[in-house]
Amino acid sequence: MVSKRIEIIKNLFTEAEEYLAKGDAIQSSEKLYKAAEECIKLLSERFNLPEVKEAEEKGRWTVTLLEKV
């Protein structure tokens, strides 16, 4: 799961750079925001935080859970 998240993060950064090169700062910032979310999820899993279990039980990560972490 870790390597999959890392790959997702790398892809999001690449997409952000591409959008920025095209002058689309809005799309670029959205990709960077998603990359930050994925980093939070990855670190939460790595440190076995209780919010990971909550997200699994809910079937998704919520903004509230991301903010708690």
Q: Both tokens of residue 12? A: 């999001």
Residues of the chain under the 50 pLDDT cut: none
Can you give the pLDDT at residue 22?
98
In this structure, the dihedral spanned by the alpha carbons of residues 40, 44, 50 and 55, taken in order and rounded to 10 degrees, is: 60
Can you give the pLDDT at residue 15?
98
Number of domains in the chain: 1
* pLDDT, tens digit, 9 for 90 and up, residues 2-21: 889 999 999 999 999 999 99
Domain containing residue 7 = 2-68
Percent helix, strand, coil in the chain, to 5, is 85, 0, 15
Can you give the pLDDT at residue 11?
98
